[in-house]
Amino acid sequence: MGRPTNVMDLFRLDDARALVTGASRGIGKAVAEALADAGCDLALTARTLPALEDTVRAVEERGRKAVVLDGDLARPGVAEALVDRASAALGGLDIVVHNAGTLPTAADGSPLMAPLQHARQEDWEAVVAVNLNATAALCRAAYPHLAESSRASLILMSSAAGIVGAPMMEAYAATKAAQISLTRSLAVGWARQGIRVNALCPGWTRTDMTAFASAPGPVSDWLTSHVP
């Protein structure tokens, strides 16, 4: 291989096999597009297959393979099944980006923002099921596949909310902090197998999930005041 002609050549991932959860929109869709640009073939997950149509189109326009998998990570056993199906479809896994996550939501799908003392236990448990329990299950299932790869990488999409105080988002913040702690433990525990483990902690990013924070109002004003 010759010398790279530009800095992006240093980050090529040609023919790597990657799984991206929560790939239908927002950060997950952007991650899938970036990995395709770098040369990856992809397994993409979301709760429903139609939600992945735009991401699949973007990946295939870049000349890469896109496998679509549907599954609700709130349900036991789904995380493990998604990993195994992705590995089977791609012939193994080199990269796993776990981006899927949730906030407490109302019946219409809008986020529920409430301080802990007024929040419902069922909302807490729903966030823990997706953001923490499914994360652990997915990592456990991914391990044997990544251990067989010579360039294995696991990335958990945490949040700045896991690092700083996040009033009215206690369940989300607690689970994102747990993801950071899990990342540190796995990075040490899996190092001898050559598996790199990292967490990314985005701040407020304009996506469908955070659209409520873009509207005028006291919540939006408080949140955006913390963005430089």
Residue range 53-94, pLDDT digits in tens = 999 999 999 999 999 999 999 999 999 999 999 999 999 999
**The pLDDT value given to residue 114:** 86
**The pLDDT value given to residue 65:** 97
Residue 152's CATH number: 3.40.50.720
Q: Which of 129, 131, 150, 136 is nearest to 185 (CA)?
A: 136
Q: Is 173 inside any structural domain? A: yes
How sure is the predictor about 13, in pLDDT bands with cuts at 50, 70 and 90?
A: very high
Q: Is 168 inside any structural domain? A: yes
User: pLDDT averaged over the chain?
Assistant: 90
Q: What mean pLDDT comes out for the span 4-20?
A: 87
Query: For every residue of 140-163, which 3-state class applies, written as one string?
Result: HHHHHHHHCCCCCEEEEECCHHHC
Q: Is 3 inside any structural domain? A: no
Q: Is 6 inside any structural domain? A: no
Give catalytic residues, as residue numbers: 159, 172, 176
CB contact at 8 A, 162 and 184: no
Q: Is 5 inside any structural domain? A: no
Token pair 């955006």 is found at 224
Domain count within the chain: 1
CB contact at 8 A, 162 and 132: no
Q: What is the residue-wise DSSP string for the chain?
A: ----SSGGGGG--TT-EEEEESTTSHHHHHHHHHHHHTT-EEEEEESSSGGGHHHHHHHHHTT--EEEEE--TTSTTHHHHHHHHHHHHHTS-SEEEE------B-TTS-B----GGGS-HHHHHHHHIIIIIHHHHHHHHHHHHHHT-TT-EEEEE--GGGTS--TT-HHHHHHHHHHHHHHHHHHHHTGGGT-EEEEE---S--SSTTGGGTSSSHHHHHHHTT--
Whole domain around residue 48: which residue ranges?
11-224
Whether the per-residue pLDDT at 225 is higher than 90: the answer is no
Whether the per-residue pLDDT at 1 is higher than 60: the answer is no
pTM metric for this prediction: 0.88
**The pLDDT value given to residue 210:** 57
**The pLDDT value given to residue 167:** 86
Specify the higher pLDDT residue, 211 or 221.
221
**The pLDDT value given to residue 216:** 61
Q: What mean pLDDT comes out for the span 7-29?
A: 92
**The pLDDT value given to residue 6:** 75
Q: Which amino acid is at 107?
A: A
What digits encode the pLDDT tens for the residues 154-187? 999 999 899 988 888 899 999 999 999 999 999 9
Q: What mean pLDDT comes out for the span 92-115?
A: 88
Q: Which of 39, 33, 31 is nearest to 9 (CA)?
A: 39
Q: Is 179 inside any structural domain? A: yes
CB contact at 8 A, 73 and 130: yes
